[in-house]
């Protein structure tokens, strides 16, 4: 049983607020200001778009968080999304009407997830076993995965997907897109693993001090391979949801997602030094990032200028993280 359940209700509320941080307040401020400046922000379609986009980023950012906790990072998530989208769409288009729509969709989903998992296992093996730096490994696999995706499509979207699959991305339940429910499941499951399982404890220990973790007999190699596999698998899941929404497989899917997922994680308190990170905070960080993007879209800020703003913002967040880490080590 958690310690919070034994505390005074006020202390419990304070503990919860402390674990979330100031991001919710920042989100409320941005939402109020944006609603005042641009009434279109409160339109039902816009809010649904924000929720859907935030949910997809949450899924990818949670996987990125697991890698960051282990003292790594994954630059290949965007390319993995493109590869998973193309592989799944190609599989479904090739099967055509030879099977039932449900079976075609299932095989396409499994193919896309399998492609993502394969890249993640390669990343994990190279980092954990071959001891290659995460930057070089994931940069290389990003280039390879993105290249394969573009090679398979020749830059042309792949259509001919079953309606049953497209319904997963465009359908809704109780007014919310399927991506929102998928993100909720991913975040809840990750929170449970972090708080209630030995795997979660081991991951923090490995990220905090890998050498001490090895000496203590913790399964460092398996954990490191596992987090990269999870990161790529979650990126592939997000890609499938987005592919279903768009109705086509695209080799350009996921552009900029590596930067966005790292930004969402770091702004939510995940340390680039490893050993620190909470899934529910990352979910809030992803929502904050999407609100920021949405604000710039509604204010008609050029896309090129948006990339500059987001880049400067992430540099600021990383600098704060470095300053915080320096203060703790002093």
Show me where the domains of the chain are located.
44-258
> Quick one: what percent of the chain has pLDDT higher than 90?
52
Confidence band for 4, pLDDT divided at 50, 70 and 90: very low
- pLDDT of 55 > 80? The answer is yes
Share the mean pLDDT of the chain: 87
Q: 96 or 10: whose pLDDT is higher?
A: 96
Give the pLDDT confidence score for residue 329 in this predicted structure: 61
What token pair was written down for 122? 């390669």
Give the pLDDT confidence score for residue 21 in this predicted structure: 59
Instruction: Return the exposure string of 289-318: e unless at least 16 CB atoms fall within 10 Å of the residue's CB, then b.
Output: bbbbbbbbbbeeeeeeebeeebeeebeebe
**Structure pTM?**
0.88
* Per-residue pLDDT tens over the stretch 84-123: 999 999 999 999 888 889 999 999 999 999 999 999 999 9
Q: Average pLDDT for residues 162-186, to the nearest whole number?
A: 90
| Closest to 16 measured CA to CA, from 29, 28, 5 | 5
User: Do residues 314 and 321 make contact, with C-beta atoms less than 8 angstroms apart?
Assistant: no
- Give the Cα separation of 264 and 275 in Å (integer): 17
Please give the distance of CA 244 from its chain centroid, rounded to a whole number.
Answer: 17
Give the pLDDT confidence score for residue 297 in this predicted structure: 85
Confidence band for 16, pLDDT divided at 50, 70 and 90: very low
User: Do residues 18 and 280 make contact, with C-beta atoms less than 8 angstroms apart?
Assistant: no
249: helix, coil or strand? strand
User: Do residues 244 and 106 make contact, with C-beta atoms less than 8 angstroms apart?
Assistant: no
Give the pLDDT confidence score for residue 217 in this predicted structure: 85
- Give the Cα separation of 163 and 160 in Å (integer): 9
| Closest to 249 measured CA to CA, from 155, 175, 325 | 155
* Total residue count of the chain as it appears in this document: 330
Confidence band for 327, pLDDT divided at 50, 70 and 90: low
Q: Which residues contact 325 (CB under 8 A, 6 or more apart)?
A: 271, 272, 273
In the block, residue with structure tokens 């490191």: 224
Confidence band for 319, pLDDT divided at 50, 70 and 90: confident
Confidence band for 303, pLDDT divided at 50, 70 and 90: confident
* Per-residue pLDDT tens over the stretch 178-198: 999 999 999 999 999 999 998
**In 178-278, alpha helices (H):** 178-196, 198-208, 210-215, 220-246, 257-267
Q: What is the DSSP string of 140-181?
A: HHHHHHHHHHHHHHTT--B----HHHHHHHH-EETTEEHHHH
- pLDDT of 277 > 50? The answer is yes
The least confident of 5-19, 154-168, 234-248 is 5-19
Confidence band for 325, pLDDT divided at 50, 70 and 90: low
């Amino acid at each position: 049983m958690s310690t919070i359940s034994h505390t005074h209700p006020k202390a419990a509320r304070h503990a919860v607020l402390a674990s979330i941080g100031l991001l919710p307040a920042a989100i409320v401020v941005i939402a109020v200001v944006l609603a005042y400046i641009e009434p279109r922000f409160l339109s039902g379609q816009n809010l649904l778009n924000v929720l859907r986009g935030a949910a997809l980023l949450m899924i990818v950012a949670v996987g990125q968080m697991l890698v960051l906790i282990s003292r790594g990072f994954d630059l290949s998530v965007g390319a993995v999304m493109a590869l998973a989208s193309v592989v799944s769409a190609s599989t479904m288009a090739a099967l055509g009407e030879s099977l039932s729509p449900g079976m075609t969709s299932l095989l396409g989903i499994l193919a896309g997830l399998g492609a993502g998992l394969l890249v993640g296992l390669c990343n994990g093996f190279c980092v954990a076993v071959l001891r290659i730096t995460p930057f070089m490994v994931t940069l290389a696999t990003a280039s390879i995965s993105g290249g394969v995706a573009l090679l398979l499509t020749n830059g042309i979207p792949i259509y001919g997907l079953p309606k049953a699959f497209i319904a997963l991305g465009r359908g809704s339940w109780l007014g919310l897109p399927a991506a929102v429910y998928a993100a909720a499941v991913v975040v809840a499951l990750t929170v449970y693993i972090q708080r209630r399982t030995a795997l979660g404890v081991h991951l923090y220990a490995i990220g905090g001090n890998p050498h001490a973790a090895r000496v203590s007999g913790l399964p460092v190699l398996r954990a490191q391979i596992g987090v990269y596999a999870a990161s790529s698998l979650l990126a592939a899941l997000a890609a499938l949801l987005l592919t279903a929404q768009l109705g086509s497989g695209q080799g350009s899917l996921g552009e900029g997602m590596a930067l966005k997922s790292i930004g969402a994680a770091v702004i939510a308190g995940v340390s680039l030094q490893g050993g620190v990170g909470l899934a529910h905070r990352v979910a809030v960080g992803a929502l904050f990032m999407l609100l920021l993007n949405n604000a710039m879209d509604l204010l008609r800020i050029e896309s090129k200028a948006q990339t500059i703003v987001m880049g400067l913002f992430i540099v600021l967040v990383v600098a704060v993280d470095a300053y915080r880490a320096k203060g703790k080590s002093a």
